[in-house]
Amino acid sequence: MTSVAIFGGSFNPPHVAHVLAVAYVLSTTEVDRVLVVPSHKHPFGKPLAPFEDRVRMCELALEPLPRADVSRIEASLDGLTLHTLEALKRAHPEWQLRLVMGADLLLESDKWFRFDDVRKLAPPIVLGRAGVAVAGAPAPILPEISSTRVRELVAAHAWDDLAPLVPRRVLDHIRARRLYG
């Protein structure tokens, strides 16, 4: 059995806390790989940068991590986490799945489609986030960085403020493609 942690999200755009989360999971848990799965559509209908741009930015962000991969599987699915996990399990029956999620998502688990089934299929690896207080969640290990704040700084052309928040190659892609302007 190969243990694979699934890390889904909009990654709109990916930032250093996403990279740190993947590195942390690879370093501290019994997983062989982390598969990053950008959502094709936001589950709550929020507007997103084009899917292929977000996939490419994830690939650029994760290049330094050899046991991290990016999947386009959600391009052909409905965006429900359970359906994504079921499709991955069908495609890779030899995988033992885990689900990486920030403590902030625990607050929204009641909004998820069949979260109890998600939990059974891929027991969560919950990561604490600075600025998020959730009863029963682990202590914060991820910095307080949000894609919302990154988009605001891009729109303001605050490139110096963005440098410590977003991987350099991701910023290059954002600028070249004129995303989030």
Segment 15-32, tens digit of pLDDT = 999 999 999 999 999 999
Establish if 181 belongs to a structural domain: no
Establish if 38 belongs to a structural domain: yes
Establish if 18 belongs to a structural domain: yes
Instruction: Residue 64: give its domain's CATH number.
Output: 3.40.50.620
Q: What is the pLDDT of residue 103?
A: 74
Establish if 76 belongs to a structural domain: yes
Establish if 61 belongs to a structural domain: yes
Q: What is the pLDDT of residue 41?
A: 82
Q: How many domains does the chain contain in total?
A: 1
Establish if 167 belongs to a structural domain: no
Which band of pLDDT confidence, cut at 50, 70 and 90, is reported for residue 127? confident
Establish if 171 belongs to a structural domain: no
Residue 90 has pLDDT above 90, yes or no: yes
Structure tokens at 126: 């919950």
Q: Are 125 and 5 in contact (CB under 8 A)?
A: yes
Establish if 165 belongs to a structural domain: no
Where would I find the beta strands (DSSP E) of 39-132? 68-70, 95-102, 124-129
- Domain ranges, residue 109: 2-143
